[in-house]
């Protein structure tokens, strides 16, 4: 157990007190505190969590693979270790958790929702899974994703659709829709999601939970080897992919970040990750930028109303507010992100398919609707190097911005959770924003601000629509300010509208 965990235990808050009648509803911190103090055994906590899962999951389809023998053996081993040694296995001692089905898990089927991987049972854990096991976590099973994580809603031919826990007609988001829905419904206190094009934070926004996209520079602060896609066995991942925690409280993000922010095993002999501690203890100390709307991606009236309310609340709390802030041009950033995303996604395409893409790209006029996708996917290395130079310049713009601002608050999404469109052909999918038909992919425009430049970004729940769907905000901070961003989210949570909870969690 590290020094930060010991300090957290010494100053327990209301969030750290476990609900004895339904412990799985409590925060991860509360469950861990109860486990360490022997108020509950790991086996009892697991059994109660599994009973809740058996009741709720059939109607939600968030958890798609279970490892009951492995989970029970791990819980019993945790109890035996604590009873015989008086010490814990690690900072996640005995905590039952689920894992996104994109993370390879030794001995447990890992499909990434792809029929081609239906029978894939890895012989090695993804690096982040190994960190969770070493910390004492009890792995229950795997949570649902779209096939190969390539959609922003969650459905696949292997396991079907995950429903939004607030309204089954709405999407849970993707690709971490199963993880976010599982956390929201109390099937797990913590999850690790992955985020290339908002795949971690979009589902968190739609399911009313917290999620942190962690900082990423030349290397990620959370190791990504063993994440699908890329295909099983690959050692590399996209240069914009980041893994991060999903939780029901901001403090729980920090619990998991403590465990998973670590060098890749090959670097562990010489490198360590020591993220800076938060500098501020009160909102009045912050210089806050607030970007409430933009012509490039207009938000709906409910989201704009939330941002206006947040502006008033934060100003009343004494923070310095800049509500005319524009750190970068949203359209330019969005265009660059798409080019880099399409380019990196081509890495694992088979030779025949890639050759066909190259031929199609060469034949397209520049004004063809598919030109951006195909020309980016097949760009020459020189063109990629130029795009990467543009990315570095964009990073410098952000760095300059954060010399005068501590955090930036933006919308997370243009609307609350949209209708699930699994059965709609992709070219016909769209969203509606205050009656206006918009691109399906506008859902991720705001959260993709952080992606190309590797900045940490938190999505946090804040109130709900008049129909009960969760609303959310995004906070972006400077590179490597992950802990400071979590602290800011905790401080904001004290003044924001009360987050919504699904019936499956509170019933």
Q: What is the mean pLDDT of residues 187-198?
A: 97
**The pLDDT value given to residue 505:** 86
Q: Determine the pLDDT at residue 60.
A: 98
Question: Are 374 and 245 within one domain?
Answer: no
Final residue before a domain boundary, out of 338, 365, 391: 391
Q: How far apart are CA 203 and CA 149, in angstroms?
A: 12
pLDDT digits (tens, 9 = 90+) for 63-106: 999 999 999 999 999 999 999 999 999 999 999 999 999 999 99
- Structure tokens, 307: 């941002």
Q: What is the per-residue pLDDT across 485-501, written as a single tens digit (0 to 9) for each?
A: 999 999 999 999 999 89
Cα(43)–Cα(12) distance, rounded to whole angstroms?
23
Mean pLDDT of 463-473: 97
- Eight-class DSSP state of 373: H
According to DSSP, the β-strands at 430-433 and 163-164 are: unpaired
Residue pLDDT, tens place only, 359-404: 999 998 878 877 999 999 999 999 999 999 999 999 999 999 999 9
163 and 56 inside one domain = yes
The answer, yes or no, to whether residue 12 has pLDDT greater than 80, is: no
pLDDT of the residue at 379? 95
| Average of per-residue pLDDT values in the chain | 95
Is 193 among the domain residues?
yes
Q: Say if residues 409 and 322 touch (Cβ distance below 8 Å).
A: no
- Residue 302, in any domain of the structure: no
Q: How many domains are contained in the chain?
A: 2
Least confident range of 88-97, 165-174, 185-194, 366-375: 366-375
For the full predicted model, state whether its pTM sits above 0.75: yes
Residue 433 maps to a domain: yes
Q: Region 217-242: what's the mean pLDDT?
A: 95
Mean pLDDT of 255-278: 95
Domain end call among 391, 419, 435: 391
Region 290-316: mean pLDDT is 98
Name the pLDDT band for 9 (thresholds 50, 70, 90). Answer: very low
At 359, which helix (H) or strand (E)?
Answer: helix 351-363
Residue 112 has pLDDT above 80, yes or no: yes
Q: Do 111 and 206 lie in a common domain?
A: yes
Burial of 48 (0-12, 13-18, 19+ CB in 10 A): middle
Q: Which residue bears the tokens 């109660």?
A: 48
**256 and 178 assigned to the same domain:** yes
How does pLDDT run across 121-159, given as a tens digit for each residue?
Answer: 999 999 999 999 999 999 999 999 999 999 999 999 999
The pLDDT confidence band at residue 6, using thresholds 50, 70 and 90, is very low
Does any domain span residue 305? no
pLDDT per residue over 46-62, tens digit each?
A: 999 999 999 999 999 99
Note whether 379 and 409 are same-domain residues.
no
Query: Which whole-number Å values give the CA distances from 273 to 54, 90, 222, 276, in the listed order?
Result: 39, 18, 10, 10
Judgement on whether residues 41 and 116 belong to the same structural domain of the protein: yes
- Using one digit for the tens of pLDDT, what is the confidence trace for 397-427? 999 999 999 999 999 999 999 999 999 999 9
Average pLDDT over residues 240-262: 98
Please give the pLDDT value at position 7: 34
Whether residue 355 is found in the same domain as residue 288: no
Q: Does 243 lie in the same domain as 195? A: yes
pLDDT of amino acid 4: 40
Rounded-to-integer distance, Cα 212 and Cα 367, Å: 37
Query: Does 190 reside within a domain?
Result: yes
Residue 3 pLDDT > 50: no
Integer Cα distance of 218 and 233 in angstroms: 22
What tokens appear for 276 in the block?
């800076």
- Distance, in Å, from the CA atom of 340 to the CA atom of 395, rounded to the nearest integer, reads 14
Q: What is the share, in percent, of the chain residues with pLDDT greater than 90?
A: 93
208 and 354 in a single domain? The answer is: no
Q: Which domain holds residue 471?
A: 3-269+283-297+311-325+405-492
Same domain membership, residue 444 and residue 352: no
Q: How confident is the model at residue 358 (pLDDT cuts 50, 70, 90)?
A: very high
**Does the residue 420 lie in any domain?**
yes
Closest CA to 342 of 356, 332, 357, 352: 357
- Residue 62 CA to residue 140 CA, distance in Å, equals 13
Residue 507, pLDDT score: 67
- Residue 441 and residue 472 in one domain: yes
Q: Rounded to an integer, what distance in angstroms lies between the CA atom of residue 91 and that of residue 83?
A: 17
Q: How confident is the model at residue 226 (pLDDT cuts 50, 70, 90)?
A: very high
Indicate if 96 and 27 belong to the same structural domain: yes
Confidence at residue 14, expressed as pLDDT on a 0 to 100 scale:
60
Q: Is residue 232 included in any domain, yes or no? A: yes
With pLDDT > 70 as the criterion, what percentage of the chain qualifies?
Answer: 97
Closest to 407 measured CA to CA, from 354, 456, 370: 456
* Residue 13, pLDDT score: 61
Instruction: Say if 48 falls within a structural domain.
Output: yes
């Amino acid at each position: 157990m590290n020094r930060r965990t010991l300090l957290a235990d010494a100053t327990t808050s209301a969030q750290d007190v476990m609900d004895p009648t339904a412990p799985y509803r409590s925060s991860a911190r509360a469950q861990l505190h109860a486990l360490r103090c022997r108020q509950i055994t790991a086996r009892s906590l697991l059994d109660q969590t599994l009973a809740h899962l058996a009741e709720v999951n059939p109607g939600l389809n968030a958890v798609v693979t279970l490892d009951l023998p492995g989970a029970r053996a791990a819980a019993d081993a945790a109890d035996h270790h604590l009873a015989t040694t008086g010490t814990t296995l690690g900072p996640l001692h005995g905590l039952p958790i689920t894992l996104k089905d994109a993370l390879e898990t030794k001995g447990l089927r890992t499909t990434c929702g792809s029929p081609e991987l239906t029978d894939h049972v890895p012989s090695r854990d993804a690096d982040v899974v190994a960190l969770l096991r070493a910390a004492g976590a009890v792995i229950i099973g795997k949570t649902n994703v779209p096939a190969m994580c390539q959609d922003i809603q969650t459905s696949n031919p292997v396991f079907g659709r995950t429903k939004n826990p607030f309204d089954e007609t709405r999407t849970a988001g993707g690709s971490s829709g199963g993880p976010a829905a599982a956390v929201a419904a109390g099937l797990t206190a913590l999850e690790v999601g992955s985020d290339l094009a908002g795949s971690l934070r979009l589902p968190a926004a739609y399911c009313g939970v917290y999620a942190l996209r962690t900082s990423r520079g030349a290397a990620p602060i959370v190791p990504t080897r063993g994440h699908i896609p890329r295909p099983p066995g690959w050692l590399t991942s996209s240069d914009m992919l980041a893994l991060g925690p999903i939780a029901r409280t901001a403090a729980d993000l920090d619990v998991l970040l403590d465990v998973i922010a670590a060098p890749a095993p090959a670097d562990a002999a010489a490198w360590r990750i020591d993220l800076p501690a938060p500098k501020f203890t009160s909102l009045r100390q912050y210089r806050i930028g607030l970007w409430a709307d933009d012509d490039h991606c207009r938000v709906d009236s409910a989201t704009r109303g939330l941002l206006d309310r947040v502006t008033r609340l934060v100003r009343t709390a004494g923070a310095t507010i800049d509500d005319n802030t524009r750190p970068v041009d949203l359209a330019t950033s969005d265009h660059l992100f798409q080019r880099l995303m399409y380019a990196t996604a081509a890495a694992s395409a088979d030779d025949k398919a890639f050759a066909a893409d190259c031929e199609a790209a060469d034949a397209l006029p520049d004004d063809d609707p598919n030109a951006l996708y195909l020309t980016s996917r097949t760009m020459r290395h020189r063109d990629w190097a130029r795009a990467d130079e543009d990315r570095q310049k964009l990073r410098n713009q952000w760095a300059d911005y954060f010399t005068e601002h501590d955090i930036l608050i933006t919308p997370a999404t243009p609307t609350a959770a949209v209708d699930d469109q699994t059965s709609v052909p992709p070219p016909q999918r769209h969203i509606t924003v205050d009656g206006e038909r918009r691109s399906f992919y506008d859902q991720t425009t705001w959260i993709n601000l952080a992606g190309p430049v590797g900045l940490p970004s938190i999505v946090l729940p804040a109130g709900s629509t008049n129909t009960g769907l969760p609303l959310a905000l995004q906070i972006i901070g400077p590179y490597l300010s992950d802990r400071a961003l979590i602290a800011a989210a905790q401080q904001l949570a004290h003044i924001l509208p009360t987050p919504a909870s699904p019936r499956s969690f509170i019933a």
